[in-house]
Amino acid sequence: MNNDKLKGLMWGSLLGDAYENKSFTLYGKQIIWLLEYMSKSKVYDPFVFAEVWQKKMSNYEGKLDEASKDSLRNLKSGRSCLGAGSGSHDLSVVGRHAPILFTLKGMDEMLESVKFHNCLTHMTKETIDASKYIAEVTLAMIYNLDVENTLLERAKFYGEEVKDEVEKALALKDKPVNVALSALGTHSHVHGALASTIYLLLNYHNDFETLLKVNREAGGDVSARAMIAGMIIGARYGFKHIQPLWIEELEEYQTLTSLIDI
């Protein structure tokens, strides 16, 4: 695969999360933990990573989201990592799979690993379908496929929820961003938030900096939308195209560079 595009999808997800303050939310921290694990293991073992994730979470000093709290409780109660995920429908997990796509090579292995990783914190059909859909779209971008056509074509394979979200975004494609995102929703749930993310990609996929700006101005769960958009745009246009002037201001920049350089 094209190394610059692989770096693009990895950096795009991280840059999306850290855009506002140049530091990472809990979403971004979890991407980094997974990247560190994948860089050493080269495979995704859900049982091993669940232990890594629990340890990292126990040392995390920031505020935990409800999905993480529920999953940690479920693991502590004795549930397997394959069934410990919360009932959350939040979009945030969908943008956290970049290290899996960055590291693994086979499509089947990637999608299976994405599903297992999703289930660690989000045990819901909507998030699993959305994660596999976005993973497939991201991988297609590496081969220079058209963004809009791919978003539309692949949606029909991942359930009615994904299909409906993409259709809603397409229907509002030509509306002003404030009108469209207000109608679609800026909250954290897949229902609405995925459509808002697709709208941003349809209109701003060739201008990552503008996408991040208008996304931030829309409010709501800014990081969740930005991580997904960044992953797809980075895969389509490559790291050199999306690399911002402020990248060296990022928290853990040197560490991330050493992990992502290929």
Domain membership flag for residue 262: no
User: What CATH number is given to the structural domain containing 232?
Assistant: 1.10.4080.10
Q: Is 41 a residue whose pLDDT tops 90?
A: yes
Q: Residue 134 has what pLDDT?
A: 98
List all residues 6 or more positions away from 62 whose beta carbon is below 8 Å from its beta carbon: 26, 29
Query: Each residue of 127-171: pLDDT tens digit?
Result: 999 999 999 999 999 999 999 999 999 999 999 999 999 999 999
- Quote the mean pLDDT of the chain: 97
Could you tell me the CA-to-CA distances from 102 to 5, 90, 132, 138, 188 in Å, in that order?
9, 23, 15, 10, 25
Q: Residue 7 has what pLDDT?
A: 98
Tokens of 116: 């297992």
State the pLDDT confidence band at 262, using cuts at 50, 70 and 90. confident
List all residues 6 or more positions away from 14 whose beta carbon is below 8 Å from its beta carbon: 24, 28, 31, 32, 98, 227, 230, 250, 256
Domain of residue 55 covers: 3-257
* Over residues 167-181, mean pLDDT: 97
- When divided into structural domains, the chain yields a total of 1
Cα gap 232→221, rounded to integer Å: 18
Q: Is 1 a residue whose pLDDT tops 90?
A: no
* Over residues 194-214, mean pLDDT: 98
Rounded percentage of the chain residues whose pLDDT exceeds 70 = 100
Q: Residue 141 has what pLDDT?
A: 97
CA torsion angle for 66, 72, 77, 81 (degrees, to 10)? 110
* Over residues 218-243, mean pLDDT: 97
How many residues in total does the chain contain? 262
* Over residues 47-65, mean pLDDT: 97
State the pLDDT confidence band at 186, using cuts at 50, 70 and 90. very high
Rounded percentage of the chain residues whose pLDDT exceeds 90 = 98
